[in-house]
Amino acid sequence: MIRAVCFDMDGVLFDTERIGCEVTRAIAQDCGCRLTEEQRRLMWGLPLRRARELLETWFPGFDSQIVKDRWYEGVLARVRQEGLILKPGAQQILHKLRQEGVKLALTSSNARIMVDTYLALAGWENAFDLVLTGNDVSRGKPDPEIYLMAARRLGVSPGECIGVEDSPTGVRSVRAAGMISVMIPDLLPFTGDLAPFTDRVLSSLDELDSLL
């Protein structure tokens, strides 16, 4: 029996993953670092601190503090300019799951300041029973810490939870936590190497209710 659903945020509920990637690439290029397609792929879905570590590895001498100083401001400026765009079916699935008595958690690698801002812009301040961010854990995805913490605080077992993600990093985190792993691809497609980490692949949130 499914008692809870844990949602990643960027790329799953909000169309913001692409903005974060574009801002990261722009900051790196301003500093003389040109990211390859493979490098951008490896950074998708990672906490900002892990992305900064990769940049320092790929570009010796690169000051990743520049990314930290500019990233949040740059992304929020883009979101406010373009508007916060919900992914198809997001509003409807949260409402339906709430009506069915399913517990809801937001499990995002993003920073608390970003998560709180997005939820306020969407009018979703009370949409979830639990909101966890990258600031709440010591080990980011693909480590399962954030999902195990969500299950524990919701009072359910991981096997009674669905984790919804859009990235390879995310589904690995869900699988490691022992939850039912659902991928709704956003910037990156589902590929065969993700099969061991994914129970179901959906085209949109509209299909999620069928799993319950």
Provide DSSP, 60-128.
TT--THHHHHHHHHHHHHHHHHH--PBPTTHHHHHHHHHHTT-EEEEE-SS-HHHHHHHHHHHT-TTS-
Chain segment 23-42, per-residue pLDDT in tens: 888 888 888 888 888 887 77
Structural domain for 76, as ranges: 17-82
169 and 71 within one domain: no
Let me know how long the chain is: 212
Q: Which of 64, 82, 100 is the last residue of a domain?
A: 82
101 and 170 within one domain: yes
8, 15, 166, 186: the catalytic one is 8
63 belongs to the catalytic site: no
89 and 66 within one domain: no
End-to-end CA distance of the chain: 8
- Say if CB 80 and CB 37 are below 8 A apart: no
186 and 109 within one domain: yes
Write down the pTM of the prediction.
Answer: 0.88
Residue type, 197: F
Cis check for the bond before 142: say yes or no (omega within 30 of 0): yes
* CATH number of the domain encompassing residue 175: 3.40.50.1000
| CA of residue 132 relative to chain centroid, distance | 11
Chain segment 112-165, per-residue pLDDT in tens: 999 999 999 999 999 999 999 999 999 999 999 999 999 999 999 999 999 999
